[in-house]
Structure 1
Amino acid sequence: MGQHLLGSSFGIPLNKTYDYVIIGGGTAGLTLANRLSASGTYSIGVVEAGSFYELSNSNLSQIPRYVWTGAGTGFDDANPLVDWMLRTEPEMGIGGQRIHYPRGRTLGGSSARNHMVYHRATKGAYDKWAEEVGDPSYEWENWKAYFDKSTTFYPADMSKRFANSTPDEDPAGAKSKDGPVSISYTNYPLAITTWFMKATEAAGMKRLASWIDGELIGTSYNLRTTEPDTMVRASAETAYLRPALKRTNLVVHHSTMAMKILFEGTEAVGVLCETLGKSFQLTARKEVILSAGAVQSPQLLMISGIGPRETLRRFDIPVLVDAPGVGQGIEDHPTASVLRKVVPPSSTVLDSPEQKEAAIRDFNRDGTGPLASTGGDLTAWEKVPRRLVSNKTAAALSTVPEDWPDLEYLITSTYPGTPPDHDEYAGIAVVLVNTFSRGNLTISSSSMHDLPVITINFLTDARDREVMIAAVRRTREILNSPVLSPVVVGPEAVPGNDTTTDAQIWKYIQSSSRTISHVSCTCKMGQQGDKSAVVDSRGMVFGVKKLRIVDASAIPFLPPGHPMSTVYALAEKMAEHISKGE
């Protein structure tokens, strides 16, 4: 057998036939590409609009500290080589602002663009998933093996961390030992983290070993998708694609747009693609698998004739399937922050050449120093104290499983705008993870070149507004804990001690609150007969054949927290079903 050249792994814009064509080289798409190509039985073609983020975004994607950038509300700090440059419609929940909505346009997708926080949702949340879609294979006890299959857990390297920042030993980590994605603790926890751990415990949040065994309510150090020795980002591209590139049956068409899914009758047969204006067709013998993410997957469905009838007719798109649920039911998590000035024993400020040079030297030497930190190394979760919300809202919050938290607390050291001095600031970004507001997206034309119309609608439900105000008050209680008095100094920096009434707090929330880009549920999974459902429990699109969706758009509801682990596990699960012909 001749040598397999690396160039053989990448497609050129010419017609070609594969067994499976995967649209989207992101978190789910590359997991599928790796698993389906492993046996050598099937040929796999992957279509990805972006390229390698290591080329397109350099160290900004690879080094944890640099994920602090790219989080602005506009596009000044966004890179179109790796980002879709999406902007929401005016968001009425925050006074009509239009905000940048980051999504990964690159191999690895949003696993190459996020803050690398890794945890699993709760046992109750996954059991609820199983019940809603009528498939017991989604119950936690049946599904957790796929989470383990996707990851390898690495204990903290205490030779590189502060002595008093030792995470508790987690026996669940022993089961995550052979997966492609590395999950590890940062080699540089912020010095303030140990103090905030004390404050969350003092507030009643029990200490947990980690976030990988189906339990969230409590407090623990974060796991991140980073390589344990170097602290470089581990993404779907590094973990799943790179090891598979040597396989002759896997071809990646990068820098290529999927323009339309092609059908013969109601059977998906291929994808119309375009590379820098040149059109060509990829044919699928077995299936077209849509893994373009929670924004582009519903957009491509509609442009291909599957979506709300009125929308398709408006743009003269022939209606293949009237699917009213496509693009509907967006779920996401809003967040707001409270910051204080702090006096930790070591600095994370990098505003001098000497500090930057030292940080680069430490990171390059052994993956230590401030560049190894994403700015927050602790997460805590709880039900919002019922004394802070009305009885009506408390009753609504209680409709989710008992182990589903309402609030997530993330330690943050990101100051909005320019700090007033060279001192250290830290605080808590509080995130609503039990929300009631729902959004939608639709198409703006019949072309994939025109970005979709996105309305998150976050904080439009009065109950979400009430809980967010309560969340800011609860965050202040934590930051005002006596256990923090040695390290928290001066008045509150953000929003400030003069922000006290509900009206003042709400005004601050409207001016500062953002989503954390967990858009999901736009092609939701459900049971036959549910008009809002787009796919069944195997991801097969209702009304057509040989078309499957595997990504965050297909989940039936957004579980508490960060969805990356769930998307990896979903792709692992679906790959097994596909390999078995299910």
Structure 2
Amino acid sequence: MSEVFDHIVVGAGSAGCVLAARLSEDPGTRVLLLEAGPPDRSPWIHLPIGYGKTMWSPELNWCYQTDPDPNMNGRRIYWPRGKTLGGSSSINGLIYIRGQQEDYDHWAALGNTGWSYDEVLPYFVKSENNQRGAIALHGDAGPLRVSDIGARHELIEAFIAGAGEIGVPATSDFNGARQEGAGYYQLTTHRGLRVSAAKAYLKPARGRPNLRVETGAFASGVLLEGRRAVGVRWRQDGILREARCRGEVLLAAGALQSPQLLQLSGIGPPALLAEHGIPVVHDAPGVGENLQDHLQIRLIYECTKPITTNDQLRTWWGQTRLGLQWLLARSGPLAVGINQGGCFLRALRGPDGLPVATTPDIQFHVATLSADMAGGKVHPFSGFTMSVCQLRPESRGRVRIRSADPFEPPSMQPNYLATELDRRTAVAGMQAARAIAAAPSMRPYVRREVKPGPDAADEAALLAFCRDNGATIFHPSGTCRMGVDAAAVLDPRLRVRGIAALRVIDCSAMPTLVSGNTHAPAVMMAEKAVDMIREDARRRP
């Protein structure tokens, strides 16, 4: 392109849409946004229950597979990632969770100035337009719509009561002063439709003459002059293109592709770059390391009553009722998606029987349907699912290019369950799920435990089930972590160390994974980054 931009944003996901929209608010700032996928026109994106379709769509989803994980019996794990405007916020499970206050205070304690909970909270509030209004810790004027699940469900009510019977209090707000508790999730929906980052941020900005959005634009590398980023290369319609910028290149391609782009551009571990014939521009051994993800363990139950979504989907009349419920009232399962309720609890116990962690170490996602895997075909029986995940895994994996070909997916090794703490916590989470299922309020709804089933009677059998069946809950993070130590890829202002005019702004920048779903934190990080970009620009001579 002959025109020069002030900023080039790579990736129109949760963070990239925020960056493009906010930076282009200044009419004197020219912004180019590149997205490898197509526009977000598919109706399955906008209908919350469409999650089951987009989960497998190669048009809207990168459909990645990890390397064989030795801790998971050599299995490859399916890793869906969004490939459309909105990125993974266009195909995710819609749950609005910020994480724990202690997550961000920990970031700050590691030397990441400006990232304490008190300092990031204003950006969560700024981004949010909560159905409940501007109540304590929440906002009602931001672009991102956050809604309650309107109708109560008999099964979720029983789960909340059952959690209370094992000592987990009910809560109405997982994003309030205390995360611990059981209740209904809030969702990024509005009037029965998904509110992705593209819909919340990008759509209102598309008419601005200073914002250019290119879809089908597969980024292949950062243009560098010496140790300064000056533009981006990409492939579009079979043609290799490039554009230059006078300000900064902002990578928001996610925890898998942002490190891949840095490595392809000569920024990364020297031995890896040399192996693939890429000249080393900057020795950055941390690029692609520190990969963290939440491992999902799904416990499946047969329900004693025909009150599950499985039952509604089984007959044409049930499907018709679901459709009419959405069309006439914008309610019901089509408007909610998969998971309605959940809880955060402290599952791992010490020898004294007391919780090891001071804050929740396990998250539950409770779905009123069941399938062999997320987004799969529902079972022919009345079923529901309790998924558990460890919130703060110790295990670390890595992302590395396989070749100098930018269009070859990178090697992804999650290295799940690599530490004793992670193994013990995963088993404790399953035991907590069983305890809730056996609680007086839940027991009348449980005909049988389908998976892992009664044969998994001890901790060894439960761990074996985790290895055989565990899957991602879609939160890869940490591969371009910010910090102040020599191995950190970014400084606390999200600037790539050793390279001028280049930042990474997405979940790869997280030094440690937050305790919950990652969409809301990614939006917050981008909102904060915009202020940093503007402040740093004012300081430059």
Using the size of structure 1 for normalisation, the TM-score is 0.87
Q: Which residue of 2 aligns with 1:493?
A: 450
Answer with 346-355 or 292-301: which moved more.
Answer: 346-355
Q: Which residue of 1 aligns with 2:35?
A: 48
Deviation of the 1:503 alpha carbon: 2.5
User: Is this contact kept in 2: 1:375–1:414, CA < 8 A?
Assistant: no
Structure 1 segments of 4+ aligned residues over 3 angstroms from their partners: 68-71, 187-190, 343-347, 417-423
Assess, with a 3 A threshold, how the Cα gap between structure 1 residues 201 and 251 changes in structure 2: closer, same or farther.
same
AA aligned to 1:148 is V
Q: Which residue of 2 aligns with 1:351?
A: 314
User: Within 5 Å, which residues of 2 pair with 1:179-578?
Assistant: 179-227=142-190, 229=191, 231-344=192-305, 346-348=307-309, 349=311, 350-387=313-350, 398=357, 402-403=358-359, 405-412=360-367, 413-416=369-372, 422-488=380-446, 490-527=447-484, 530-578=485-533
AA aligned to 1:105 is K
Q: Deviations over 1:153-193 (max 9, x none)?
A: 014xxxxxxxxxxxxx99336x4111111011224554311
User: Is this contact kept in 2: 1:190–1:375, CA < 8 A?
Assistant: no
AA aligned to 2:88 is S
Q: Deviations over 1:466-501 (max 9, x none)?
A: 22122212211110001223322x332222122202
Matched residue SS, 1:482: coil
Q: Does the alignment pair 1:93 with 2:71? A: yes
Deviation of the 1:420 alpha carbon: 10
Deviation of the 1:85 alpha carbon: 2.2
AA aligned to 2:49 is R
Deviation of the 1:214 alpha carbon: 4.9
User: Is this contact kept in 2: 1:151–1:182, CA < 8 A?
Assistant: yes
What stretches of structure 1 of length at least 5 have no aligned partner? 1-13, 72-77, 156-168
Matched residue SS, 1:192: helix
User: Is this contact kept in 1: 2:13–2:89, CA < 8 A?
Assistant: yes
Across the two proteins, how many residue pairs are aligned to each other?
532
Aligned-partner Cα distance in 2 for 1:522–1:141: 25
Aligned-partner Cα distance in 2 for 1:259–1:423: 47
Answer with 189-198 or 59-68: which moved more.
Answer: 59-68
Q: Which residue of 1 aligns with 2:129?
A: 152
Matched residue SS, 2:344: strand
Assess, with a 3 A threshold, how the Cα gap between structure 1 residues 281 and 419 changes in structure 2: closer, same or farther.
closer
Aligned-partner Cα distance in 2 for 1:467–1:361: 43
Q: Does the alignment pair 1:22 with 2:9? A: yes
Aligned-partner Cα distance in 2 for 1:361–1:209: 29
User: Is this contact kept in 1: 2:134–2:140, CA < 8 A?
Assistant: no
Aligned-partner Cα distance in 2 for 1:285–1:149: 28
Assess, with a 3 A threshold, how the Cα gap between structure 1 residues 385 and 555 changes in structure 2: closer, same or farther.
closer
Assess, with a 3 A threshold, how the Cα gap between structure 1 residues 21 and 553 changes in structure 2: closer, same or farther.
same
RMSD: 2.1
Q: Which residue of 2 aligns with 1:11?
A: none
Aligned-partner Cα distance in 1 for 2:293–2:182: 22
User: Is this contact kept in 2: 1:151–1:179, CA < 8 A?
Assistant: yes
Q: Deviations over 1:347-406 (max 9, x none)?
A: 42212222212211221222112212323211211112415xx68x999x64xxx33x21
User: Is this contact kept in 1: 2:64–2:79, CA < 8 A?
Assistant: yes
Matched residue SS, 1:118: coil
AA aligned to 2:290 is G
What stretches of structure 2 of length at least 5 have no aligned partner? none
Q: Deviations over 1:389-442 (max 9, x none)?
A: x68x999x64xxx33x21111112223279997442124111111211110010
Deviation of the 1:125 alpha carbon: 1.3
Identity of aligned residues (%): 30
Q: Does the alignment pair 1:62 with 2:46? A: yes
Aligned-partner Cα distance in 2 for 1:317–1:385: 45
Using the size of structure 2 for normalisation, the TM-score is 0.94
Aligned-partner Cα distance in 1 for 2:156–2:325: 20
AA aligned to 1:184 is S
